[in-house]
Structure 1
Amino acid sequence: MKWNKERLTSYAPQEMEMKWYEYWEKNGYFHQEPENEKEAFSIVMPPPNVTGQLHMGHALDNTLQDILIRFKRMQGYHTAWIPGTDHAGIATQVKVEQQLAKEGKTRYDIGREAFLERVWAWKQQYGDRIEQQIRRLGSSCDWRRKRFTMDETCAAAVREVFVSLYEKGLIYQGERITNWCPHCHTALSDIEVDHEEENGHLWYIKYPVVGEDAYIMIATTRPETIMGDMAVAVHPEDERLRTYIGKKVRIPFVDREVPVIGDTYVDRNFGTGAVKITPAHDPNDFEMGQRHQLPSLMIMNLDGTMNAEAGAAYAGMTREACRQAVVKELEAMGLLDHTEELRHAVGHCSRCHTTIEPFSTKQWFVKMKPLTAAALNAVTTGKTQFVPDRFAKIYNHWLENLHDWCISRQLWWGHQIPAWYCDDCGQTTVSREDVGTCAYCGSTHITRDPDVLDTWFSSALWPFSTQGWPKKTADIQKFFPTSVLVTGYDIIFFWVARMMFMTCEFMKDIPFKHVFIHGLVRDSLGRKMSKSLGNGIDPLGVCEEYGADALRFTLVTGNTPGNDMRFYMERVEANRNFANKIWNASKFVIMNLTEYDDAFVPEAADLTLADRWILTMLNETVQKVTRDLDRFELGEAADTVYNFIWNLYCDWYIELTKKRLYTSTDERNRRTAQFVLVHVLTRTLELLHPFMPFVTEHLWQHLPHTGESIMLAPWPQVQEQWQFTEDAAQMNVLMEAIKAVRNLRAEAKVPMGKRAPIMLKGGTAALTRLLQTYESYFHTLAFADTVTLLKETDGKPENAVVAVVPGVEIYLPLKDLIDVEKELARVQKEEAKIIKEIARLEGKLQNAGFLSKAPAEVIAKEKEKLATYQEKMTSLTQRLQELKNL
């Protein structure tokens, strides 16, 4: 039996947390080599950007994963939590380009090779920063298995997948609409576009009908794209406009005649019901153009300026300048009917904040339809389960309605596309290895495609590329498929679904058995944390002030799967107090282990009622926490441990052991108390360890234990020899009676240190015997001076307030305890104050002006206040009646 017998000082998390993390990592406790005899439990960490700074979303995500991996490690599973980072194509390239800009250079000035050397150097200098921040949280990742989306292992997987899909005809080049950043000069994925509400305008413009003295009025937010219009569309069932279908209208400025088409995509309730169709500059228009075989005309350059196709008058203008010029000209031509102000969402590049432009450009695409069937089937059949299961509908909807995936990016940092173009025969060679000659004509005049792959392409392979695929490694045989993916609902589309269809295609299996979805961490007002609002909270700062344990416990308690949570610093402080409570309880136990015999195990007959109760409650807690963790109800599990430690072990059991430890002359009784205190505390620390790893390790080491670390200790099991259900029920009766006494004292404002007589009446002979046997509990826990047991025929004592719990009546005589007249005056004064406040709130909530103007959350808070005051009023009325009866 080991234990560190050094004296515990005050709780100081900053001093001990890094110490224990270094101890765990140095001793290799996070790493396990593949062994066949143990069941595996594995997780791949959603890779944060290598440019990243730890934020609350990361902290939540990593805390949930760490809880699961620590739980399963203690249960004896063969665990692997594989960490890693993502190369973050655009984000990282922007960082290095900003460095170059300070030197007065661009990437084109130094060339691709030198630029990539600069990026790798930047990655070496700054790229491991977020890994250190993840360590600060206590994340027990297997850092020996660390991966990077551009390391050699992942690069081999990316090359194999690209070439394989190309050979199957599932990767192709084509012209399609993509999100384009005119500043970064690249296509963007949807997740790289931030849609922000902006003030704009809706311009109503007349398009003359060819051959008639009439016009169709369209409404548009983008008059600068008029020169690229190829049709006007109306809904075929719109009675106002369907007669124009098949006719032509003339586009202003370019004098182009285009058809009026009917398409059910048109929203009859937007604008005039007629919309301009610009296939090269709008994704919906592009799709409509495909359906109606319309031509596509680019009227902008890749930097967002207007090109020659826009007309000589506008060529070279920025989009904004062109818009103003076009509106002015339309007004002069008499074609601008009117303008309306509009609040609408506009897409911006998430990196440089430039307004994105939908462009039709030549890109590489993955055909999605052939890949989605297996991914849909995996969820439909339950092989992969979403937690909560409602997110399966979102997943299915996206896969059932997706378009082909644009995977090429016009960047230099990333996985360069393994395609070479022949200058002589024009063919494209796609190869697993770098090539120097054309595969079709043997020419050496070949050029590699300069584009790189979308970052999501490499991260879509994460569940198997991290484990060494395409090699058949020992890790793949042991840890694949992974057990659970923990991630936020905001990337189900962009990442989860892509991992599913890529893994199903190449591994012929699911990537993970469960997808555990969590929500976002919002500020205390319910707002999303963002730089623009300035409401972000640095988790590292919280760790430094309150400790990582307090932060972790805050993030998991009150957190239900799939739902957003509000972050309150007050809760972090409360959870630091909880850690301090555990510390002080452990300190009390350790201080009372004089002459502790680690070989002593009590017989059942040695146990007091309190012993039997706390051991039984420990069994119930073990059972519930284990069940909730298995169900991914991590918040429920944390609450259960919290309530057991604070409300049962500390507030009740420890108090009942003090007399046995301090004054008992029965050595066996004292040793029994020591045994139960240590046994229950040790098992409880083990239950709490996945949630609060640092403080539990430190205290566990100071208690008698076996093993090197709490993180390797066996997970607590229900112990039938310590199950005393009937005794626990009896203890619960006593506790309810004691709590009733405490409440009566509090309501009567009896000072805590003042002992008071109490009278008890049991409803049955058995209850009366119970109350008599454990009268001492009332002296210890209810500050009883004397305890009088009343007979069933005894009436209510004079000048006493009463409380009733199941089977027991409790009386607290108030004579000599309080000044009745003074207390009556105080309660009446409080009553008058609350009556006034209730009247004010009721008047406010009946005011039509307030209800129509106030935000919903303000009204809800006022209603909540009213309900609280009404509840207080009920209690005061009852209290007044009791005082008047004295």
Structure 2
Amino acid sequence: MEKQYNFKENEEQLYKEWAKKDAWEPKGTGKPFVMVIPPPNVTGSLHMGHALNTTCQDILARYYRQKGRPVKWVVGTDHAGIATQTKVEKALIKKGIKKNEISKEEFLKHIWEWKKEHGDQIIHQLQRLGASCDWSKIHFTMDDDYQKAVKTAFKHFYDQGLIYQADRVVNWCVRCQTSLSDLEVEYRPEKAKLWHIKYPVKISELRSQNQVQNLKSSKNHEPRTTNHDYIVVATTRSETMLGDSAVAVNPKDERYKNLIGQTVILPITGREIPIVSDSSVDMKFGTGAVKVTPAHDMLDSEIGERQKLESIQVIDKYGKIMTEGMQEFRNLGIKECREKIIEELEKQSLIEKVEEIEHNLSVCYRCEREIEPMPSKQWFIDMNHSNAKCKMQNAKSQLKIKNDQNSKSLKELGMEAVRSGKVQFVPKKWEKVYLDWMENVKDWCISRQLIWGHKIPIEGETDVLDTWFSSALWSFATLGYPEKIDEKYYPTTVLSTARDIIYLWVSRMIFSSVELIGEIPFEKVYIHPTIYNQEGKRMSKSLGTGVDPIELIDKYGADAVRFGLTLLNTGVQDIKFNEVHIVAGRKFANKLHNIARYIDLQIQNSESRVLPTLRSGSRLNVGKNPIYKKYLEKIEKLETETERDLEQFRFGQALERIYHFIWHDFADKMIEESKADESEEKIVFLQTAFSRLLDLVEPFLPFVSAKIKNILNSELKIQNAKSQFRVQNHS
């Protein structure tokens, strides 16, 4: 063996050999172990989260292959609609090309070129990590067969009456010019001003002096004139008051109880709007009285529906003011209008006070621009009503659906799959998180005003589907849907994914599979930890806090990166990355190599005595040696503990135990204790015991393990270390 372990040469050479042999096509007997990789977006390169999850999945795939089960690990990439379109737009701008200056066809050509480059890059990066996927077919969510699956699924939902079009207040991104679902909205802490604005109450509406006194005593609000008293509302968005339809208070709030049903004069516009009661109002926020703008706030929209209030849109899809009558505000930007309104309110002495607060600003999850809630005609999936009213049997005959639960809503199907135990989360606490969200799930807005994506298959429609609609089909669209799915591979065994897409992806995969296939998509959902940088901050290339896993592989090797990430994965949900663990992985790989060199040297020195005996087929009984017997008993215990850990997704605990045993028990003690023994049993024991230890290491560090086993096994012609030697009791 070479003196130094060359990971660069070994990893590249071994992976090519594995690929040539089709080493990862499903082989073996028994129940198949099946996974679908969460398809990376073709937006760029893999990040540390991908590296961690790929490592977890590959450990499972290699472990179950060792156990003799057929393993199918489906691989592919996601078109990632808005994310990819935004990336390509920015890339073109750097080249001096604007999207609105080229045709749709030309823009799509640029996107497909981007997809080819970055999709290929992602596949190469997965292979650099050692991912033992089934590479016989690499799937993509815009492939022809996948598009057929999407259209079939859409038609089913539509035929069942579960897809409808409606004017609703949606999350609108002014920059991306598209709607977003609630789950695609991120929240960023921001300091803001909370204005306390006086809304005059008509005196003629006050029914008693007690009401006047009650109004004045509420927060010491003083009337501006003798003709009006005021109710004070607190808001950070004064510009939307142009579209106010009411002031709302909580019915339990004693400060305002006698004012419910009265009328206020909306400042600046002069419109009369009612004071209404609604239990959703937070009595502790601001003054406890809130302005209601049904067209520009989700909660206000719900209040408006309950109270039958008018919805007045005052902001257009470009983020400009679109008032009627008040020309001084028309076509102003949002912030500009806000400043002008505050200036006007101050002139009229209608600002009681201003507070500095910190609140969560809603932003687009891709371009990070502020979200503007506004009315828009969109397509939705009904989550809360059953499809019993539809011609279910006709749809079944067309789509070969097994699901007979036509009296249940998608929400109920998704919840029942988990409550029944058919789908289990690991760690278990995520089941409650999933069920709590599903309990309050709203209808899913599935239309997007984008170019890149699956066109909604309705004549005359130009919108595309939400990326997550097609992603929800991933577990079965990659296995044959809408044609016949090979039942031995479905449902899949495990989905390993991140907690931040439990709602976006996992939930939708579950109810889509049950509705469309009549089966759960997977038996277990493993939620891997979220990885942060050393300071505990989110890893982000754009923020300068990211770490490129490929750079680490170039520096330390894939085995070292896998080791470091796995060693951190000990059951906690937040882990801080530290390169020291990768360094430890490189040292461990070198340690394995050095142990192998020592054993190889012993073999070479004893070749004339040991090899003829082994090659003749006779089995040397080394169990009589108490030292060897002791260590083999420890190895058997380690094998049992490792199997238990991996069955329970305890990756870090399993690796740490293996690492300490090899380094401290086997290398520091066992080898040292055996040096005085010059018998042939020692050589057989060292090689056989180490081979069994390498079997334990291989799912975690596949490259160095395979390299060593290839060398030692070729020299001793031992193919199965476990059958070659087991602990035997002797009287």
**TM-score, reference length from structure 2:** 0.89
- For the aligned residue pairs, the C-alpha RMSD in angstroms reads 2.2
- How far apart, CA to CA, are the structure 2 residues paired with 1:138 and 1:117? 32
Following TM superposition, by how much is the alpha carbon of 1:491 offset from its aligned partner in structure 2, in angstroms? 1.1
- How far apart, CA to CA, are the structure 2 residues paired with 1:355 and 1:336? 25
- How far apart, CA to CA, are the structure 2 residues paired with 1:399 and 1:569? 39
Unaligned runs of 5+ in 1: 1-6, 421-447, 665-669, 728-886
- How far apart, CA to CA, are the structure 1 residues paired with 2:642 and 2:550? 28
Query: Please, which of 647, 655, 665 is the counterpart of residue 648 of structure 1?
Result: 665
C-alpha deviations, 1:366-399, integer Å up to 9, x for none? 0012102122111111111111111100000111
Tell whether 2:618 aligns with 1:579. Answer: no
Question: Which residue of structure 2 lines up, in the alignment, with residue 264 of structure 1?
Answer: 279
Q: Give 1:573's aligned amino acid.
A: V
Query: Please, which of 707, 721, 727 is the counterpart of residue 722 of structure 1?
Result: 727
Q: Between the two proteins, what is the percent identity of the paired residues?
A: 43
Query: Please, which of 511, 530, 537 is the counterpart of residue 527 of structure 1?
Result: 537
Query: Please, which of 691, 703, 711 is the counterpart of residue 700 of structure 2?
Result: 691
Question: Which residue of structure 1 lines up, in the alignment, with residue 464 of structure 2?
Answer: 452
Query: Please, which of 325, 328, 336 is the counterpart of residue 340 of structure 2?
Result: 325
Which has more radius of gyration?
A: 1
Does the C-alpha gap of structure 1 residues 169 and 632 become closer, same or farther in structure 2, counting only changes over 3 Å?
A: same
Following TM superposition, by how much is the alpha carbon of 1:520 offset from its aligned partner in structure 2, in angstroms? 0.6
- How far apart, CA to CA, are the structure 2 residues paired with 1:25 and 1:310? 70
> Does structure 2 retain, via aligned residues, the 8 Å contact 1:517–1:561?
no
Does the C-alpha gap of structure 1 residues 31 and 206 become closer, same or farther in structure 2, counting only changes over 3 Å?
A: same
1:265-414 → structure 2 map (5 Å cutoff): 265-309=280-324, 311-369=326-384, 370-414=409-453
Following TM superposition, by how much is the alpha carbon of 1:141 offset from its aligned partner in structure 2, in angstroms? 1.1
- How far apart, CA to CA, are the structure 1 residues paired with 2:240 and 2:477? 44
> Does structure 1 retain, via aligned residues, the 8 Å contact 2:563–2:581?
no
Q: Give 2:373's aligned amino acid.
A: P
Question: Which residue of structure 2 lines up, in the alignment, with residue 435 of structure 1?
Answer: none
> Does structure 1 retain, via aligned residues, the 8 Å contact 2:620–2:684?
no
Question: Which residue of structure 2 lines up, in the alignment, with residue 590 of structure 1?
Answer: 600
> Does structure 2 retain, via aligned residues, the 8 Å contact 1:615–1:723?
no
Following TM superposition, by how much is the alpha carbon of 1:705 offset from its aligned partner in structure 2, in angstroms? 5.3
Following TM superposition, by how much is the alpha carbon of 1:145 offset from its aligned partner in structure 2, in angstroms? 2.5
Q: Give 2:145's aligned amino acid.
A: T
- How far apart, CA to CA, are the structure 1 residues paired with 2:623 and 2:35? 46
Tell whether 2:108 aligns with 1:116. Answer: yes
Does the C-alpha gap of structure 1 residues 406 and 723 become closer, same or farther in structure 2, counting only changes over 3 Å?
A: farther
C-alpha deviations, 1:751-793, integer Å up to 9, x for none? xxxxxxxxxxxxxxxxxxxxxxxxxxxxxxxxxxxxxxxxxxx
> Does structure 1 retain, via aligned residues, the 8 Å contact 2:242–2:323?
no
- How far apart, CA to CA, are the structure 1 residues paired with 2:652 and 2:340? 58
- How far apart, CA to CA, are the structure 2 residues paired with 1:264 and 1:193? 25
Query: Please, which of 491, 494, 497 is the counterpart of residue 481 of structure 1?
Result: 491
1:94-109 → structure 2 map (5 Å cutoff): 94-102=86-94, 104-109=96-101
C-alpha deviations, 1:654-702, integer Å up to 9, x for none? 1112222xxx3xxxxx210011101111111111101001111111111
Following TM superposition, by how much is the alpha carbon of 1:99 offset from its aligned partner in structure 2, in angstroms? 4.2
Q: Give 1:567's aligned amino acid.
A: F
> Does structure 2 retain, via aligned residues, the 8 Å contact 1:387–1:561?
no
Query: Please, which of 525, 537, 543 is the counterpart of residue 553 of structure 2?
Result: 543
Question: Which residue of structure 2 lines up, in the alignment, with residue 209 of structure 1?
Answer: 201
SS in 2 for 1:80: strand
C-alpha deviations, 1:428-463, integer Å up to 9, x for none? xxxxxxxxxxxxxxxxxxxx2110000000001110
Question: Which residue of structure 1 lines up, in the alignment, with residue 647 of structure 2?
Answer: 630
C-alpha deviations, 1:136-192, integer Å up to 9, x for none? 111111122311111112111110111111111100001122211101100123343
Does the C-alpha gap of structure 1 residues 531 and 121 become closer, same or farther in structure 2, counting only changes over 3 Å?
A: closer
Does the C-alpha gap of structure 1 residues 308 and 673 become closer, same or farther in structure 2, counting only changes over 3 Å?
A: same
1:780-795 → structure 2 map (5 Å cutoff): none
1:741-780 → structure 2 map (5 Å cutoff): none
Question: Which residue of structure 1 lines up, in the alignment, with residue 484 of structure 2?
Answer: 472
Q: Give 1:244's aligned amino acid.
A: L
Tell whether 2:106 aligns with 1:91. Answer: no
> Does structure 2 retain, via aligned residues, the 8 Å contact 1:559–1:565?
yes
Q: Which has the higher contact order (CA 8 A, sep 6+)?
A: 2
SS in 1 for 2:136: helix
- How far apart, CA to CA, are the structure 2 residues paired with 1:308 and 1:266? 27
Question: Which residue of structure 2 lines up, in the alignment, with residue 147 of structure 1?
Answer: 139
Query: Please, which of 554, 559, 565 is the counterpart of residue 555 of structure 1?
Result: 565
C-alpha deviations, 1:237-271, integer Å up to 9, x for none? 00111211111111112211111111111111100
> Does structure 1 retain, via aligned residues, the 8 Å contact 2:623–2:629?
no
Does the C-alpha gap of structure 1 residues 717 and 337 become closer, same or farther in structure 2, counting only changes over 3 Å?
A: farther
Following TM superposition, by how much is the alpha carbon of 1:11 offset from its aligned partner in structure 2, in angstroms? 1.7
Tell whether 2:199 aligns with 1:194. Answer: no
> Does structure 1 retain, via aligned residues, the 8 Å contact 2:183–2:503?
no
Q: Give 1:490's aligned amino acid.
A: D
SS in 1 for 2:631: helix
- How far apart, CA to CA, are the structure 1 residues paired with 2:325 and 2:242? 6
Question: Which residue of structure 1 lines up, in the alignment, with residue 21 of structure 2?
Answer: 27
SS in 1 for 2:669: helix
Question: Which residue of structure 1 lines up, in the alignment, with residue 392 of structure 2?
Answer: none
Aligned length: 677
Q: Give 1:700's aligned amino acid.
A: K
Following TM superposition, by how much is the alpha carbon of 1:484 offset from its aligned partner in structure 2, in angstroms? 0.2
Following TM superposition, by how much is the alpha carbon of 1:562 offset from its aligned partner in structure 2, in angstroms? 5.6
Q: Give 2:687's aligned amino acid.
A: V
Unaligned runs of 5+ in 2: 205-227, 385-408
Following TM superposition, by how much is the alpha carbon of 1:310 offset from its aligned partner in structure 2, in angstroms? 7.8
- How far apart, CA to CA, are the structure 2 residues paired with 1:605 and 1:28? 37
Moved more, 307-316 or 232-241: 307-316
Following TM superposition, by how much is the alpha carbon of 1:604 offset from its aligned partner in structure 2, in angstroms? 4.7
Moved more, 129-138 or 99-108: 99-108
1:146-185 → structure 2 map (5 Å cutoff): 146-185=138-177
Question: Which residue of structure 1 lines up, in the alignment, with residue 50 of structure 2?
Answer: 58
Q: Give 1:42's aligned amino acid.
A: V
Question: Which residue of structure 2 lines up, in the alignment, with residue 130 of structure 1?
Answer: 122
- How far apart, CA to CA, are the structure 1 residues paired with 2:97 and 2:623? 82
- How far apart, CA to CA, are the structure 1 residues paired with 2:91 and 2:654? 48
Following TM superposition, by how much is the alpha carbon of 1:497 offset from its aligned partner in structure 2, in angstroms? 0.5
Question: Which residue of structure 1 lines up, in the alignment, with residue 516 of structure 2?
Answer: 506
Question: Which residue of structure 2 lines up, in the alignment, with residue 734 of structure 1?
Answer: none
Question: Which residue of structure 1 lines up, in the alignment, with residue 4 of structure 2?
Answer: 10
> Does structure 2 retain, via aligned residues, the 8 Å contact 1:202–1:341?
yes
- How far apart, CA to CA, are the structure 1 residues paired with 2:722 and 2:301? 62
Q: Give 1:209's aligned amino acid.
A: V
Following TM superposition, by how much is the alpha carbon of 1:96 offset from its aligned partner in structure 2, in angstroms? 2.7
Q: Give 1:222's aligned amino acid.
A: R
> Does structure 2 retain, via aligned residues, the 8 Å contact 1:619–1:718?
no
Following TM superposition, by how much is the alpha carbon of 1:532 offset from its aligned partner in structure 2, in angstroms? 5.8
Q: Give 1:701's aligned amino acid.
A: N
Moved more, 524-533 or 256-265: 524-533
Following TM superposition, by how much is the alpha carbon of 1:631 offset from its aligned partner in structure 2, in angstroms? 1.3
Question: Which residue of structure 2 lines up, in the alignment, with residue 876 of structure 1?
Answer: none
Does the C-alpha gap of structure 1 residues 167 and 704 become closer, same or farther in structure 2, counting only changes over 3 Å?
A: same
Question: Which residue of structure 1 lines up, in the alignment, with residue 675 of structure 2?
Answer: 658
Tell whether 2:533 aligns with 1:516. Answer: no
C-alpha deviations, 1:384-431, integer Å up to 9, x for none? 1111111100000111101000000000100000112xxxxxxxxxxx
Moved more, 490-499 or 605-614: 605-614
Does the C-alpha gap of structure 1 residues 500 and 606 become closer, same or farther in structure 2, counting only changes over 3 Å?
A: closer
Following TM superposition, by how much is the alpha carbon of 1:488 offset from its aligned partner in structure 2, in angstroms? 1.1
